[in-house]
């Protein structure tokens, strides 16, 4: 089902024309479709129905509490990487027992808070982190459940900034050292090893790297089993890619089927941590054309959204589709670079886009639900965009646009 679609030449989110949102809420503005989010989450849940499983949505992809609440109501768990994400999940009604805490730099206070709340497990990324968790658990008299995040040294074939499973990356425990570390856990009185995890990168468009990583992990799981250590789960992380342009990633069903085939002899719970595959295509960023600036070399459409609102094009040279919210019927299309008002040449949202534009036209940047708002900033003292959730024929502002006074509310002039 297409939750964003043209009807009578107008772009809609579910039953709401996007021009109505732009008119009432203004731009830039993120718009999400509730139905799309739910459909994407349920695709994972249905594909995994014959296996014990836990879907822990990666909060970093989009951490708005209204979205976390929708997912919690479906029964989702959450993969978090900071105390901020932990408190968001709790505020959104998430179940602590379905929270997994990942990340290479967990601070003492973050670990303590997570233990007090009673999260399901920590994905441990190094030996010093393991000792720190043990020390804190001892102090507050808790047993910490942990899973070791293994770095299997697999090329995820994705952008180097979002590849995490190679030896040169800071993530996880080298697979060769994993067994030595596991033997040390016996001496840590307040640690219980319950799983093995890995996450080799994001926006993977091929199945092979996932399967290779899983096979390496399974060799380790076999050794653990032979030593009579009982695990509860295997966590295969997130990373399933989506189509932004011409990529052809596996569907959720194909991905899960391939994983389950490799786990057909295992009774362990399967944990997954998808972010992008749940929320990316459920969101668009609306922006208004401020100026058309045509030069002998280039035509620029200067819009009111910028790299501070959507960083992916500037940071990864990422391509995201840009659509007019009124379908072009005029034949006079021109090649434009769609750029923002920020003072950096990296401030572009799309290059060489063939569009028919006039000032004040509204454009929609597609597949912006993941790593869009969550990576936005106030650079150039720009208030962050509003966020709207569409639910059939209604829409709700789930984050107000920041005001100018919000920008410096925490600052102070000194004598
Ligand atoms: N689990 C862990 C431990 C992760 O580090 C990540 C993402 C995920 C799960 C979710 O991965 P996903 O299913 O969303 O691919 N800002 C980048 C993506 C960074 C991903 C970081 N880790 C982008 O805009 O492409």
CB-based burial of residue 232 (10 Å sphere; 0-12 exposed, 13-18 middle, 19+ buried)?
middle
Token digits of residue 207: 């199945």
Strand partners, 386: 29
- Give the 3-state DSSP-derived string for 193-260, with helices as H, strands as E and coil as C: EEEEECCCECCECCCHHHHHHHHHHHHHHHHHHHCCCCCCEEECCCCECCCCCCCCCCCHHHHHHHHH
Q: Return the minimum-mean-pLDDT range out of 133-147, 160-174, 235-249, 349-363.
A: 160-174
- Label residue 156 by pLDDT band (50, 70, 90): confident
- CATH architecture of structural domain 34-276: Alpha-Beta Barrel (3.20)
> Which residue has the least CA distance to atom 9 on ligand 1?
238
Domain limits, the chain: 4-32+280-407, 34-276
Concerning whether 343 is annotated as a catalytic residue, the answer is yes
Quick: pLDDT tens for 324-343: 999 876 668 999 999 999 99
Quick: pLDDT tens for 246-301: 999 999 999 999 999 999 889 999 999 999 999 999 999 999 999 999 999 999 99
- Label residue 1 by pLDDT band (50, 70, 90): low
Residue with token string 């040449």 = 345
**First CA to last CA distance, the chain:** 60
Query: Of 340, 344, 250, 294, which Cα lies nearest the Cα of 43?
Result: 250
Instruction: Judge contact between 36 and 3, C-beta under 8 A.
Output: yes
Counting ligand 1 atoms within 8 A of each CB, the residue from 44, 157, 161, 202 with the most, and so the one to mutate, is 202
> Which residue has the least CA distance to atom 22 on ligand 1?
202
pLDDT for 176: 87
- CATH architecture of structural domain 4-32+280-407: Beta Barrel (2.40)
* Rounded CA separation 393/205 (Å): 34
Within this chain, domains 4-32+280-407 and 34-276 share the same CATH topology? no
Task: Find the catalytic residue in 29, 260, 294, 343.
Answer: 343
pTM of the full predicted structure? 0.97
Phi, psi of 276 (to 5 degrees): -55, -45
* Rounded CA separation 178/115 (Å): 24
């Amino acid at each position: 089902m297409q939750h964003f679609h043209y009807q009578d030449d107008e772009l809609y989110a579910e039953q709401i024309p996007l021009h109505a949102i732009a008119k009432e809420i203004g731009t830039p503005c993120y718009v999400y479709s509730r139905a799309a989010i739910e459909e994407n989450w349920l695709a994972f849940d249905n594909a995994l129905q014959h296996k014990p499983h836990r879907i822990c949505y990666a909060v970093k992809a989009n951490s708005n509490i209204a979205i976390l609440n929708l997912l919690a109501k479906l029964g989702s768990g959450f993969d978090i990487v900071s105390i901020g994400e932990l408190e968001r999940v709790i505020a959104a009604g998430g179940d602590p027992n379905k929270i997994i805490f990942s990340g290479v730099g967990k601070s003492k206070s973050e670990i303590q808070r997570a233990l007090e709340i009673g999260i399901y497990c920590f994905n441990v990324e190094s030996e010093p982190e393991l000792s720190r968790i043990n020390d804190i658990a001892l102090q507050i008299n808790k047993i910490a459940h942990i899973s070791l995040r293994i770095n299997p040294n697999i090329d995820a074939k994705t952008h180097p900034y979002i590849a995490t499973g190679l030896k040169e990356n800071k993530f996880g425990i080298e697979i060769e050292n994993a067994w030595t570390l596991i033997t040390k856990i016996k001496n840590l009185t307040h640690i219980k090893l319950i799983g093995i995890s890995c996450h080799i990168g994001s926006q993977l468009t091929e199945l092979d790297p996932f399967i290779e990583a899983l096979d390496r992990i399974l060799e380790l799981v076999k050794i653990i089993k032979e030593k009579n250590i009982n695990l509860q789960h295997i966590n295969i992380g997130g990373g399933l890619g989506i189509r932004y342009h011409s990529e052809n990633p596996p569907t959720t069903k194909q991905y899960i089927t391939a994983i389950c085939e490799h786990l057909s002899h295992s009774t362990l719970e399967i944990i997954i941590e998808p972010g992008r595959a749940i929320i990316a295509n459920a969101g668009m960023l609306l922006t208004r054309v401020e100026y058309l600036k045509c030069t002998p070399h280039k035509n620029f459409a200067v819009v009111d959204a910028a790299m501070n609102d959507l960083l992916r094009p500037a940071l990864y040279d990422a391509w995201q589709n840009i659509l007019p919210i009124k379908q072009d019927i005029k034949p006079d299309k021109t090649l434009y670079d769609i750029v923002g008002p920020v003072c950096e040449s990296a401030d572009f949202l799309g290059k060489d886009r063939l569009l028919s534009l006039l000032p004040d036209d509204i454009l929609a940047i597609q597949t912006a639900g993941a790593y869009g708002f969550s990576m936005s900033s106030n650079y150039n003292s720009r208030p962050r965009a509003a966020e709207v959730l569409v639910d059939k024929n209604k829409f709700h502002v789930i984050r107000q646009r920041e005001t100018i006074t919000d920008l410096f509310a925490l600052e102070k002039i000194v004598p």
